[in-house]
Amino acid sequence: MSASVKVVLLVDPDPYARTLLAGHLAEMDIDLREAADGVNALRIVRAGGVALIVSEMYVPAGDEECLIHAIRRDQAHRKIRIVAHTQRATAADREWAMRAGADAYLVKPTRAQRIRYVVGRLLSERPPSSAANITSGAPMIRRDSLEVALREIEGGALAHVSSIVFGRAWWENLTTVEQSGFRRRAKAAHVNLRSDSMLSNHFVEVRGQSRDMVGLSTERPESPYRR
């Protein structure tokens, strides 16, 4: 197989779902790999070469962390594109997937034409820059903690930041003193702090002047294969 052929990893605990998806993508010029769980998926990713992952949502990857978060937390794998392919069809699930770091969200059952379109589109696009290199022009970046985000803002590494959004459950577990300390630092940096119940505790979102989400959504009008 040519070295230019891109590797696509299919992750789903259901072997029938993986077989069906592999059949949908069989006609594409890609190298298909499969994993039944997040631990094996991470092993394949860390071996190198994976360009895109199609994964069921909330697949555990050890230490109570899901696979999508594990991929997005690792700077070495930030350029991997991720498609959340799931039976979960609520607005909250879709929001969770996109905020966790998915580039696209597809609800099962998915037509072959549609999944091929999304995979092909993501593989042909230029991957997003590493979060470490994103400039102030980016509408949203992620950091591992509020402390890290504030420290970068205070040090001048991040400019034009208007707000930081974080997990509500995490915030409510802080002491009053800790909350006051974060609020004081944010006020001094002219940054608004906001909690959100749907945001994972593993990330905070650092937002600039634009509030638009980054990532390919299959609800966008340019996709002819909307559900």
> What does the pLDDT look like over 42-62, one tens digit per residue?
999 999 999 999 999 888 887
| Beta strand residue intervals within 58-170, DSSP E | 81-86, 104-107, 140-143, 163-167
Give the residue from 214, 23, 218 showing the smallest Cα distance to 128.
214
At residue 200, the pLDDT reads: 52
Predicted local distance difference test score (pLDDT) of residue 221: 27
Tell me if 190 sits within 8 A of 159, measured CB to CB.
no
d(Cα 134, Cα 140) in Å, to the nearest integer?
9
CATH T-level fold of 131-207: 60s Ribosomal Protein L30; Chain: A; (3.30.1330)
Strand partners, 8: 32, 52
Picking from 192, 187, 227, the residue whose alpha carbon sits closest to that of residue 208 is 192
Of residues 79, 192, 204, the one with CA closest to residue 143: 204
DSSP H helical ranges for 49-145? 67-73, 91-100, 112-124
Q: Where are the domains of the chain?
A: 6-124, 131-207
Distance, CA of 139 to CA of 134 (rounded, Å): 10
How far, in Å, CA of 75 to CA of 79, rounded?
A: 8
- Residues 71-105 have pLDDT tens digits of 888 888 888 999 999 988 787 777 778 777 888 88
Low-confidence ranges of the chain (pLDDT < 50): 1, 128-139, 209-227
How confident is the model at residue 188, as a pLDDT? 94
Q: Answer whether the bond into residue 13 is a cis peptide, omega within 30°.
A: no
pLDDT at 218: 31
Q: Specify the fold of 6-124.
A: Rossmann fold (3.40.50)
Q: Cα-atom radius of gyration of the chain, to the nearest Å?
A: 18
